[in-house]
A and B are shown apart, each in its own frame.
Chain A
């Protein structure tokens, strides 16, 4: 049983050490097969297993909570796209920290040096939030084949991309921690092919084709086609 009377941390976003940075057993995930996969050092990325995504959106909340201390999925760096394929299916969309040749967002940025760039020391994408031109520019979003950089013009008008929850050199992706169906993994890329930059529309279409080969807009024949043919 959880002690609900415990005082909580202050209102500012701080580290979530009591809940999030502990090993699996302390978070309640116990038993065979749920041990933590050792987190990689150096170059790493978040692998989205979109066939396992159940679309609950917990990752979005964990992300916005870690970075901004609010519950707001518009501020999240990982986004869930929900499709009717026609069966409802959700897929995740998150930056995969492309290798240097394929970093289209960096190349597309009109500023020199680019406001969105790869930090080789910390091994993740970074955005210079003071210089970024915001939603009016959106060059990086258009260049990315998976449509990943996002903007939230009302309060955070700069490109929002995944930074692997890096804080003072420590990385602990919160979306991976909270995902209830183990659909997100924090991995070291073994092959460049692992880094999939697939638009969520395409992901959903592939899944639906693979799992049930139907025409896109029919799920059921009209009655008269069945009984009166």
Chain B
């Protein structure tokens, strides 16, 4: 069996040059996706730079399994929102298309173009084209015109497009990268980095799949999975990922009114059955995924006009009771509105909830907001404020900095109402509802991602670029992640991994990411915490149960999480682990910042 080679395409936008790099050795060490992204950030980005500097990289990375099992693409850059390691996952068809171009080691974008451009990649033809006609357009319009152009001029309508909206162009800290209108690399401001490089969009189409080492074995695994995975995730297929929301609201696990309450009557309207009956159109899936959990919605009636999009737990929770909007009716409108502007729904809803509370308490006045009456649940005001943020007009210019910097700039005691961890908004999660979720939100070296994203196994899945929602069906069909992971990797790449190697890989990719964040100024002891509100204010869930976090218990749980992540009690890596896993190059930098690692 011949081993699979991994090639990475580097596009230098400053000099308009492309370069193909063999990354097979790196993939053996870090797998690709989130792991290789952290390694490239460490190697390529000088410490302490501004994330919007041309020296920052933007790495669209895929893993060895992308292209035959799911199609996640992981986007890495230094985050403008947190100034730490930034990464975000984007599902859809982009990842598979990227693998099929032959660049299965990912696409690395460096430098900065002096005028707006877009990338057109078709196998090994890479064109950097002028995008002045697209600049300023909304996401949907951009993707539409690029698709039509490629169909007209190249006779091929299967191009996949990832683009940024006006928010990304205006370098809003929580701008996202949008693909196929409802797949987003949303979190941690990846769109702002793309905008800082003057890159409006990437259109990609591949016709050369990699020659896998053992296609028979792969196909056998795939067939088994497709046959047996169907009964799993049936709820998600029917109702989308809003299916967990009623239960979470009842137990006090969802934020309400910027985390001031544990239960409110409007939560009862967040019922996925109403969503399905009222707005569901059809099911859609990503490339080679049997789960098909994408459930697009649309609404036709006035006064809000026709619109469509996709609701899942995170954006739905953010625009739901957290800003006191009742039910899904208005969200079905709001979500695509925000998507079109190119903002991260979840993060911007956190910013809006924070401004709402400050407005409620009189810390931010109507004059500050240029006359917007931002009361709880006021849809018109929310839309206007979001537009201001996306175009950086008036107060939007400050709010566009995200929850790490905007509260500091505004001051007046507004800081304590910012529900954030390391600068990323906590919106649809209520940490008081579940201590394990609270700790998972806190200990992530990238800032608050969705719960549990900091766990080494999840980092591993992101490095293979397997979707989170494939995790459970895969476990139920094949068993433990190490088993199917090793079998699939060996079949695809022709390697001879053992379970021991898998454990090392998991440890290595998780440590690499943490080390990069530490180099950029992250101190686990200081930063792995939550706002004081969660430790001080008591809320009551639907059943009247009082919920509050206990500081001592939180510390204890956090130490426990560090231990299962293979870290020391203070959350820093151990020297012998770093040496054993071949990460000794990080030791001098870490020792300069943290003192002796022993």
Q: Which A residues have a C-beta under 8 Å from some C-beta of B?
A: 1-2, 4, 8-11, 16, 18-20, 27-29, 31, 51, 54-58, 61-62, 65, 69-74, 81-84, 86-90, 178, 180-181, 211-214, 217-221, 223, 225-227
Q: How far is the CA of A61 from the CA of B210 in the complex (A)?
A: 13
The distance from the CB of B339 to the nearest CB of chain A, in whole angstroms, is 10
User: Which residues on the A side are within 8 Å of B68 (C-beta)?
Assistant: 61, 71
Selected contact of A71 from candidates B219, B220, B283, B300, CB within 8 Å: B219
Selected contact of A8 from candidates B214, B285, B304, B387, CB within 8 Å: B214
Selected contact of A10 from candidates B216, B229, B383, B478, CB within 8 Å: B216
The distance from the CB of B274 to the nearest CB of chain A, in whole angstroms, is 18
Whether A61 touches B227, Cβ cut-off 8 Å, given contacts A88-B182, A226-B303, is no
Is B218 an interface residue, CB under 8 A from the partner? yes
CB-defined A-B contacts under 8 Å, sample of 12: A4-B487, A8-B491, A19-B224, A56-B285, A62-B219, A86-B181, A88-B181, A218-B306, A219-B298, A219-B308, A220-B307, A220-B308
Whether A220 touches B340, Cβ cut-off 8 Å, given contacts A4-B487, A82-B158, is yes
Dominant secondary structure of chain A at its interface with chain B: loop
| Stretch from B128-136, B139-147, B247-255, B442-450 at the A interface | B139-147
B308 in contact with A27 (CB, 8 Å): no
Whether A88 touches B284, Cβ cut-off 8 Å, given contacts A70-B215, A219-B336, is yes
A211 in contact with B282 (CB, 8 Å): yes
The distance from the CB of A32 to the nearest CB of chain B, in whole angstroms, is 12
Q: How far is the CA of A125 from the CA of B578 in the complex (A)?
A: 61
A219 in contact with B140 (CB, 8 Å): yes
The distance from the CB of B457 to the nearest CB of chain A, in whole angstroms, is 18
User: Which residues on the A side are within 8 Å of B563 (C-beta)?
Assistant: none
A178 in contact with B226 (CB, 8 Å): yes
Question: 15 new A-B pairs (CB below 8 Å) besides A27-B223, A82-B160, A212-B300?
Answer: A1-B477, A4-B221, A4-B483, A11-B1, A11-B216, A27-B224, A56-B289, A61-B219, A70-B209, A86-B140, A178-B223, A214-B306, A219-B298, A219-B306, A226-B304
| Chain B 293-326 residues near chain A, CB threshold 8 A | 294, 296, 298, 300, 303-308
Whether A58 touches B226, Cβ cut-off 8 Å, given contacts A87-B298, A88-B296, A227-B380, is yes
Q: How far is the CA of A18 from the CA of B223 in the complex (A)?
A: 11
User: Which residues on the B side are within 8 Å of A178 (C-beta)?
Assistant: 223, 226-227
6 cross-chain pairs, A with B, having the tightest CB-CB distances, nearest first: A28-B228, A221-B305, A180-B290, A27-B227, A28-B227, A54-B285
Whether A71 touches B284, Cβ cut-off 8 Å, given contacts A28-B227, A56-B292, A86-B144, is no
Which range holds the interface residue count of chain B? 35 or more
Determine the residue in chain A with the shortest Cβ distance to B93.
A82
Q: Which B residues have a C-beta under 8 Å from some C-beta of A?
A: 1, 68, 93, 96, 100, 140-141, 143-144, 147, 157-158, 160, 180-182, 207, 209, 211-212, 214-224, 226-231, 281-290, 292, 294, 296, 298, 300, 303-308, 333, 336-337, 340, 380, 383-384, 387, 477-479, 483-484, 487, 491
Q: How far is the CA of A9 from the CA of B478 in the complex (A)?
A: 20
User: Which residues on the A side are within 8 Å of B304 (C-beta)?
Assistant: 221, 226
User: Which residues on the B side are within 8 Å of A54 (C-beta)?
Assistant: 283-285, 292
Q: How far is the CA of A61 from the CA of B333 in the complex (A)?
A: 37
Selected contact of A211 from candidates B216, B281, B286, CB within 8 Å: B281
B478 in contact with A212 (CB, 8 Å): no
User: Which residues on the B side are within 8 Å of A180 (C-beta)?
Assistant: 226, 229-230, 290, 292
Q: How far is the CA of A162 from the CA of B122 in the complex (A)?
A: 27
User: Which residues on the B side are within 8 Å of A217 (C-beta)?
Assistant: 141, 144
Q: How far is the CA of A212 from the CA of B279 in the complex (A)?
A: 10
Determine the residue in chain B with the shortest Cβ distance to A215.
B306
A219 in contact with B307 (CB, 8 Å): yes
A223 in contact with B383 (CB, 8 Å): yes
The distance from the CB of A42 to the nearest CB of chain B, in whole angstroms, is 28
User: Which residues on the A side are within 8 Å of B484 (C-beta)?
Assistant: 4
Selected contact of B215 from candidates A57, A69, A220, CB within 8 Å: A69
Whether A71 touches B223, Cβ cut-off 8 Å, given contacts A1-B478, A54-B285, A212-B298, is no
Determine the residue in chain B with the shortest Cβ distance to A80.
B158
